Amino acid sequence: MIRYLPHKDIDKNAWDTCLRRSFNGIVYAQSWFLDIVSPGWDALVGGEYESVFPLTHHRKFGIPYLYQPFFTQQLGIFSGRHLTAQVVQEFIDAIPRRFRLADIHLNAFNKVDPAGVPGKMRINLELDLIAPYEQLVKSYSENTRRNVKKAAVKGVQLIRKPDPDELITLFRENFGSTEKKLKYRHYDMLRSIMKQALANNLGMTFGAGLAGRPMSAGAFFLFDRTRRIFHFAATGPEGRDSGAMFLMIDSFIRENAGQALILDFEGSDDENVARFYKGFGGREVPYYMVRINRLPRILKLGLSLFRKT
């Protein structure tokens, strides 16, 4: 039996226990993370918290809808049981009708029959770190090897544990100055994620830059049981010119090679970004984006008005 639970009725201890027992549990779905990215989230729960599905919702013009929160690549159904396409369909069908729109991402283990679930496939890139570094580096592209070498020749140095605010500032002063989706509240959200993760040994910050110069490239890695997620990154002009980001990721791979871990690049459908991740040997892993529109026909033309901004 699948139950819909409003936020106040969710047993978060039982929820997090389910995540720990799930074969596909991931940090994005842990209650502390959801509380930051989507305060007041609701849920679908199968049985006695044997399977769970967070419903991250918002409201615009009085219409409640489901959306994919910022900084949260995949959610969907998490379970210790085998998840067939039929089970996934049952959960999708159990989404309350009051949510008139849905634009949400399932996780890579949620297989769907596209005929029954409207949406499209998206692509993530992942690198299995179990092999020794000497073997992993053989999968690097020539461009990646060249940039790692360039960074070393230019004297790029690693910066351990830079402050989260340094990363956010570097991003906002560069890509963030032209990027229009992220608002002040989103940077506050990101800061909260990083600080809580760092306080509980669930992440690390990493940086790089030329000796005697400010940090020109940095990243935040979010930790899960079996994966290290490249969750947020920032680069300035000096970092791009020196290959600092290439050296930083290569160093992370070197330090974690030979472990039963996955480096999750968290994207991307963008060709240029995907090429960068593939340059380190990243392989494509598809996941499904669900799109549901239950609006009256006259309102469907204005769908973009209801998407979260």
Q: What is the DSSP letter of 144?
A: H
Band of residue 181 on the pLDDT scale cut at 50, 70, 90 = confident
Q: What is the DSSP letter of 161?
A: S
pTM score, two decimals?
0.93
Residue 175 scores a pLDDT above 90: no
Band of residue 199 on the pLDDT scale cut at 50, 70, 90 = very high
Q: What is the rounded average pLDDT of the residues 279-304?
A: 81
% of the chain residues with pLDDT over 90: 88
pLDDT tens-digit map of 130-161: 999 999 999 999 999 999 999 999 999 999 99
pLDDT tens-digit map of 247-270: 999 999 999 999 999 999 998 888
pLDDT tens-digit map of 35-77: 999 999 999 999 999 999 999 999 988 889 999 999 999 999 9
What contacts 57, CB < 8 A, 6 or more positions away?
Answer: 38, 40, 41, 42, 64, 65, 66, 67, 99
Can you say whether residue 243 is alpha, beta or left, with left for phi > 0 and alpha for psi between -120 and 50 degrees? Answer: left
Q: To the nearest whole number, what is the mean pLDDT of the chain?
A: 94
CA–CA distance, 160 with 255 (Å, rounded to integer): 13
Both structure tokens of 251: 């160093």
Predicted pLDDT at 299: 57
CA–CA distance, 114 with 15 (Å, rounded to integer): 28
Residue 301 scores a pLDDT above 60: no
pLDDT tens-digit map of 182-193: 999 999 999 999
Predicted pLDDT at 297: 62
Taking each continuous run of H as one helix and of E as one strand, the counts in the chain are 11, 14
Predicted pLDDT at 308: 44
Residue 309 scores a pLDDT above 50: no
157 SS3 class: strand
Paired with 209 in beta bridges are: 157
Predicted pLDDT at 179: 77
Band of residue 302 on the pLDDT scale cut at 50, 70, 90 = low
pLDDT tens-digit map of 227-253: 999 999 999 999 999 999 999 999 999
Predicted pLDDT at 233: 96
Residue 298 scores a pLDDT above 70: no
- Helical spans, DSSP H, in the chain: 12-21, 31-37, 85-93, 133-136, 142-153, 164-173, 184-199, 237-242, 244-256, 271-278, 297-300
Both structure tokens of 19: 């995540």
